[in-house]
Homo-oligomer: A and B are copies of this chain.
C-alpha cells in the first residue's frame, strides 16, 4: 500500500519525571490525538513500555492502524540520540543505561528515535516553529533548569557521544553560586532558571534589608519566578533588579555561545519567557556588549513559536521526519 507522504503520521512521546505525554502528529505539525500516562508509577521500564503501548493503541486504531505511522520520536531526560538509550536519568526510576528506543521498537514494531528534551525542542522549532528555514541556531529552554539544543549546518550537534549541548552547565561566574545537583559553581543554570530567579530574589531581599519590596509580602516558599515577574511589572525595584541581573548573566552566556557557533538566532523557550522584555532587554544589552564587533546586531533573540503545551510532543515527533535512522 502506497501512502501519500502528507497522510503519514509520527508518534511523538515526551517523557517527564512525573508524566509522559504523547501525540499523533502529521508532517505539518498538527496534533491529531493526544494522550498521557504516569511515568513514575512504573518501577520497571518494561511495564512502562507495555502501559505506553496500551495508552497509544486507541489512537493508532483511530487513524486506521500503525501502517500510517512512519515512526516514533521520543524526548527523554538524558536521552542519547546515537544509541537510543536513556542514561542515568536522575529524575527517572529506571536506573543505569536503558535501551529505550529498542524496547519501544520491539513493542510497537516501528522505528524509534530518541533524544533529550532540549534537542527535541530544537528539532521541533526547526520543523514547525521560529527556526523554520534556519540552518544555524541555538535553542535555550529556561525552565526549572536550563537546557539547550544546538543546530549547525542544519543538523543537531550531538557530539561524539550523543551528549552535546549542556549549555546550562557551562560556567559563567567562576566560583559563583553553588549548583546543588552538580556540585559545580557558577553555571548558567544556577542563575538563568526559575530556580535561579528565586534564589536571586531571596539574595537581593537579604542583602538590601532596608529596601521596601512587594516581595516581602510573600513567604520564602511562595516566591517564584512568576511572583517576581508580577511584582516587577507593578514597579517593584528589587523584583526589577532580579530580572536585570538574570538577563545580564544570560546575555553574557549567550555572547559566549555566539562566538562558538555564530547562530542566526537564539530561540528562548520555557517558563521564564513569560517575563518577556523584562528578561530580553537586559539579555540583549549584555549579549551585544560581550561579542566581537563582527557578531554585533546580527543574532536574533526570539521566543519559541510553539505553544508550550504542544512543543514537547511536536519536538519529539519531528525527530521522525528529521532522523536518518528510521527512514
Contact = CB atoms under 8 A, between A and B. Distances in A.
Interface of A: 78, 87-88, 134-137, 150, 152-153, 155, 157-167, 169-174, 182, 184, 252, 255-257, 259-264, 290-292, 294-295, 298
Contact of A170 (B162, B184, B256, B298): B256
B161 A262 contact: yes
Given A170-B256, A290-B171, A164 B150 contact: no
A299 to B, nearest CB: 8
Contacts of A161: 262, 294, 298
* Most chain B CB inside 10 Å of its own CB: which residue of A153, A162, A184, A298: A153
Q: How many copies does the complex hold?
A: 2
A259 B292 contact: no
16 contacts: A88-B294, A136-B159, A136-B160, A136-B164, A152-B157, A153-B155, A159-B262, A160-B264, A162-B262, A163-B294, A169-B291, A170-B256, A170-B259, A171-B290, A184-B292, A260-B260
A167 to B, nearest CB: 6
Contact of A292 (B134, B155, B166, B261): B166
A261 B164 contact: yes
A307 B167 CA distance: 34
A159 B257 CA distance: 11
A142 to B, nearest CB: 17
A269 to B, nearest CB: 18
A1 to B, nearest CB: 35
Contact of A153 (B137, B157, B263, B294): B157
Given A163-B295, A294-B87, A294-B163, A259 B169 contact: yes
B171 A260 contact: no
A87 B135 CA distance: 22
Nearest to A172: B174
Contact of A184 (B157, B163, B290): B290
Contacts of A173: 174
B292 A159 contact: no
A173 B158 CA distance: 27
B153 A259 contact: no
- Rank and list the top 8 A-B pairs by shortest CB-CB distance, nearest first: A159-B262, A164-B262, A160-B264, A136-B160, A170-B256, A166-B259, A152-B157, A164-B261
A80 B123 CA distance: 27
A235 to B, nearest CB: 29
